[in-house]
Amino acid sequence: MKFYTGDWLKDPRLSLCMPATRGVWIDLICAMHELDRSGELCGTSEELARLARCSTVQLESALTDLQNKLAAELHQRNGTWTIANRRMKREAETREKRAIAGSKGGSKTSAGREQTPNYNSDSDSSQGLERVREFARGEGIGKEDAEWFFWKGQGNGWTNGGKAILDWKATLRSWKRAGYLPSQKAAYNGKPRQIDPNQQRKDDEYELFMRQRQERKEQK
């Protein structure tokens, strides 16, 4: 679980709560993460008190404090509390949307980009291979190079240099420009190709930029 100390310290509503309330709240947040990361907990006062490692009196005092200060989403009905951390709930909803998007058409890291050509992790690899072949034809890349790229990606778990590939199409284009494909290397009979010496650095910077932008989106 990522713990954002800045959010915790700068939240004005949480700062208005009593120190004991904040102690109960952080234990409940940890319980949310350990259980299912949905950002929600449901239970009676006795059940939640066990999770927060406090008495029911202390728990109910903390929940009332959180509710009055609007520091958390809280509802009580028929003796059962429903408590939610807004940020964790948003992150859980985002994960669910991405999982649905990935199952419908490629493993998508964001709109318009796909980490792998496979429709999902359980699909027949022949479908992903055919997608690479089709895309490669449009880029002027031969069948053998396309197949080499696909099986290399499959073998590496769709990573490049130990880091997850963010966009397999952009990666294939980049490798073509840099002369990394087998047919390009063979065409020069073992002699190094004269390419932009800064191309690899540019490609690495692009990958880093896209990864940092994705991380910033996930933190919002």
Averaged pLDDT for residues 104-115: 59
**85 and 127 co-located in one domain:** no
CA angle in degrees (0–180, nearest 5) for 175-177-183? 65
**214 and 124 co-located in one domain:** yes
Q: Is the pLDDT of residue 160 over 90?
A: no
**157 and 57 co-located in one domain:** no
Domain boundary among 47, 62, 89: 89
Q: How far apart are CA 111 and CA 101, in angstroms?
A: 9
Q: Is the pLDDT of residue 44 over 90?
A: yes
| Residue 66 identity | L
**181 and 124 co-located in one domain:** yes
Identify the pLDDT of residue 179. Answer: 84
**50 and 131 co-located in one domain:** no
Averaged pLDDT for residues 116-127: 70
Give the range of the structural domain holding residue 15, as residue numbers without chain letter: 5-89
Number of domains in the chain: 2
Q: Is the pLDDT of residue 173 over 70?
A: yes
**50 and 119 co-located in one domain:** no
Identify the pLDDT of residue 109. Answer: 46
Q: How far apart are CA 150 and CA 126, in angstroms?
A: 10
**Does an H or E element contain 112, and which?**
none
Q: Is the pLDDT of residue 119 over 80?
A: no
Instruction: Using alpha carbons, select from 36, 167, 26 the residue that is nearest to residue 96.
Output: 36
| Domain-located, residue 95 | no
The domain spanning residue 66 has which CATH number? 1.10.10.10
Query: What number of other Cβ atoms are within 10 A of residue 127's Cβ?
Result: 12
Helix, coil or strand: residue 218: helix
Identify the pLDDT of residue 204. Answer: 62
| Domain-located, residue 133 | yes
Higher pLDDT, 41 or 206: 41
Domain boundary among 89, 115, 144: 89
| Domain-located, residue 144 | yes
**Does an H or E element contain 148, and which?**
helix 143-155
| Residue 14 identity | L
Averaged pLDDT for residues 5-15: 85
Q: Are 177 and 199 in contact (CB under 8 A)?
A: yes
Q: Is the pLDDT of residue 192 over 60?
A: no
Q: Are 132 and 149 in contact (CB under 8 A)?
A: yes
Identify the pLDDT of residue 37. Answer: 67
Per-residue pLDDT of 63-104, as tens digits, reads 999 999 999 999 888 889 999 888 888 887 777 777 666 555
